[in-house]
Structure 1
């Protein structure tokens, strides 16, 4: 597993997520551990290296 730190698009707190580099491309939704708002993650890896990471708010 790969721990990645980022800033929540809602509350702007720095939080972390655990990413699985064995899955090359991932898109999923997970709640912020601080403010509980849903965040859409887009992640891609190549040869175990993180190529893309996006954490976007979900307009509700």
Structure 2
């Protein structure tokens, strides 16, 4: 079964909206993906909220989380 979900995020560097694929079978994950527009590394954090929906947060290299 394909558990990939497409989400739109805004790059914390250039502000462009880009689409990413996340694996919805792993609700607690963090990884780095380069922006498709400016090529800078975005830290992507995926977690499940209290309603059971996947939430995505993005951070630049300089952000503390």
TM over 0.5: yes
Aligned Cα root-mean-square deviation (Å): 1.7
Deviations 1:18-55 (A, max 9, x none): 01110120011111011000000110137x731x2111
Q: Which runs of 4+ in 1 moved over 6 A?
A: none
- TM-score w.r.t. length of structure 1: 0.84
- Could you list the runs of 5+ residues in structure 2 that have no partner in the other structure? none
- TM-score w.r.t. length of structure 2: 0.79
How many pairs does the alignment contain? 58
Which has the greater radius of gyration? 2
- Could you list the runs of 5+ residues in structure 1 that have no partner in the other structure? none
